[in-house]
Amino acid sequence: MNISFSINDDILLSLKENAEEFTQNLRFISALTLYRKNRLSLGKAAELAGYNKLDFIDKLRLEKEAIFDFNETEMNEIVADYQHLRESELMTVLAESKADIAVGRYVEESAVEHLVRLESME
């Protein structure tokens, strides 16, 4: 779809932009506004702005715009999910370590010996 409208030349002069720059900036600002209002996803906002997702995120960063805007409840859920995943990961590693010890799959060494062994693996 192609959308067009007229603007006075003095607007471009005031902005010190040519028509192409103005159009690109207008697309970005529109995409940003719709993204902020949760009317477009990050991907669709990037598409509207004429960017791929990564470039749109980089443009948001350069413009010092929030990439993700979560309220307190959403942040608490994210932190709780992260903590749960981290605890699960630690429990898995602990279980694997106990299993390794049970079958004798470990090395007894000092910290210095350990570092020397690791360096020799490179």
Nearest to 66 by CA among 43, 36, 28: 36
49/79 same-domain check: no
- First CA to last CA across the chain, in angstroms? 56
Give the domain extent around 49.
9-62
Residue 4 within a domain = no
pLDDT at residue number 109: 94
Contact 65, 32 (CB under 8 A): yes
pLDDT at residue number 28: 96
91/110 same-domain check: yes
51/90 same-domain check: no
pLDDT at residue number 61: 92
Q: What is the tens place of the pLDDT at every residue in 68-117? A: 777 788 888 989 999 999 999 999 999 999 999 999 999 899 999 999 99
Q: Provide the residue type at 99 as one letter.
A: A
pLDDT at residue number 30: 96
Query: In angstroms, what CA-CA distances link 57 with 50, 63, 71?
Result: 12, 10, 20
